[in-house]
Amino acid sequence: MIRITFRDHQGELREVDAQIGDTLMESAIKANVPGIDAECGGACACATCHVYVDPSFLQRTGSAGDMEQSMLDFAENVKSNSRLACQIYMDETLDGLTVSTPESQQ
């Protein structure tokens, strides 16, 4: 089990257990994390699972691909650490990951 922490725009923390191989978005949906709507169901066709990755985990989550970057172009308040949760796959190296959800997704 991998432990992930979601922080909302007001600083409220929600710890979630994630399964190896699931996406961050799937883990959030299973745990009913507010701010992760996943309207496209994880097809990288929307930006309703936009998160800010803690800078200490950026290398471990990898870079956004072309399709993900195109979807981020439609998101609000995109930052250098913005990612779509549907494109981050859980593995052992992400245990302890903290992500924040933008205020616009609350």
> Which residue intervals of the chain are DSSP H helices?
24-30, 58-61, 66-72
Which tens digit of pLDDT belongs to each residue from 69-88?
A: 999 998 999 999 999 999 99
pLDDT in the model for residue 105 = 82
End-to-end CA separation in angstroms for the chain: 27
pLDDT category of residue 42 using cuts at 50, 70 and 90: very high
pLDDT in the model for residue 104 = 85
Share of the chain above pLDDT 70, in %: 100
What token pair was written down for 28? 């959030």
Signed CA dihedral, 28, 25, 46, 54: sign only: positive
pLDDT in the model for residue 102 = 93
* Residue 23 DSSP label: B
Q: How many CA atoms lie within 13 A of 58 on its CB side?
A: 10
pLDDT in the model for residue 82 = 97
